[in-house]
Structure 1
Amino acid sequence: MTTEPERDPGEPADVRAARAAIDAYLNRTDPSARTRSADGRIDDRTAELVAREAWDAVMAVTPPPPDPATDPGPAVEPPEVAERRERAVAVVRGLQKLGHHLDETLLPGPDLAAG
């Protein structure tokens, strides 16, 4: 199953990440809930669900902020959080490059830029 009608082996890594996230999402959802346009592309609503799922994966492994009263030191982000954050940023950027319009709350801010 493909998520978009055209694939280019030289496409950017973030587009490949977005396609992989779309495929993973579609493989887990009920076929009747899958929304595609006449040309086989997913719609923006589905793209937003894919982006939300990527950010939810970041939140699932993000520890709560330290209590300043008991731990005044700087918080160090665990490697798993950083890895999932980079993936979420790549998925969102890839979805945008594929032409999807996402809710601005799903877009990475300057503090989340993964490079």
Structure 2
Amino acid sequence: MTNRAIISTPNAPEAIGPYSQAVKVGNTVWLSGQIPLVPGTMELVAGDIQDQARQVFSNLAAVAEAAGGSLSSAVKINISLTDMADFAAVNEVMAEFLQPPFPARACVQVAGLPKGVAIEVEAILAV
């Protein structure tokens, strides 16, 4: 018997590939990377990097809630940016969604992301 559960919610974008929105095993939840897609329409959010980051963190929050947690349950956040000049702006948005003590985090610059977006964020929760 396995305690592995697939987490899915219509309040976050559907997967655009062969993966789940999240997988929960025991009290650990691995949230797949989210890009700034609007749930329901699957359209990319318009606006600057802060608008895009808010959509990404909103998407993550919806999946976290579906898993029985919240972003305050995050123990690790991984951020991928196509331009490290966006680092400070993304930090501001992250601080809107998470409060101290903050989870562990990595932020890296990448050559490209799905659909040509500027940001993708994934998380690990302990719920």
* TM category, shorter: 0.3 to 0.5
**In proportion to residue count, which structure has more helix?**
1
Normalising by structure 1, report the TM-score: 0.32
Q: Looking at both structures, which has the greater relative contact order when contacts are Cα pairs under 8 Å and sequence separation is at least 6?
A: 1
**In proportion to residue count, which structure has more strand?**
2
* Larger Cα-atom Rg: 1
Normalising by structure 2, report the TM-score: 0.30
